[in-house]
Amino acid sequence: MDKKLSFIHLSDLHISTKDKFDRATVIDALWKDIKKYRDAGINPDFIAFSGDITHGGLTEEYDLASTEFFDPLLEVTALTKDRLFIVPGNHDCNWSITTKLKDPLPNISTEKDIQELLEDVDARATYLLPLANYNHWKESYLGSFQSITPSHFSESYTVKNGNLVVRVIGLNSELPHEKVVLFRIGF
pLDDT, tens only, 58-97: 999 999 999 999 999 999 999 999 899 888 888 888 888 8
In whole angstroms, give the CA distance from residue 6 to residue 63: 28
For residue 173, pLDDT beyond 70:
no
pLDDT at position 126, please? 76
Report the pLDDT averaged over residues 159-170: 79
Please report the pLDDT score of residue 145 as a whole number: 52
SS3 label, residue 152: coil
Q: Tell me how far apart the alpha carbons of residues 187 and 167 are, in angstroms, rounded to a whole number.
A: 10
Mean pLDDT of 16-38: 90
Report phi then psi at 91, rounded to 5: -80, -10
Question: 28-37: per-residue pLDDT in tens?
Answer: 999 999 999 9
Question: Residue 144: its pLDDT value, please?
Answer: 62
Instruction: Give ∠ CA 179-69-149 in degrees, rounded to 5.
Output: 40
Q: What is the pLDDT of residue 2?
A: 59
Answer yes or no: is 2 within a domain: no
Residue 68: the pLDDT is: 93
pLDDT of residue 172: 65
In terms of Cβ atoms closer than 10 Å to its own Cβ (0-12, 13-18, 19+), residue 66 is middle
Report if residue 1 sits inside a domain: no
pLDDT tops 70 at residue 148? no
pLDDT of residue 5: 82
C-beta of residue 85 within 8 angstroms of C-beta of residue 154:
no
- Residue span of the structural domain in which 177 resides: 7-186
CA distance 83 to 47: 6
Mean pLDDT on 138-159: 68
Say what the pLDDT of residue 38 is: 96
Is 147 contained in some domain? yes
- Residue-level pLDDT at 69: 96
pLDDT of residue 160 exceeding 60: yes
Helix (H) or strand (E) holding 39: helix 23-39
pTM for the model: 0.79
Confidence (pLDDT) at 23: 83
Count of the separate structural domains present in the chain: 1
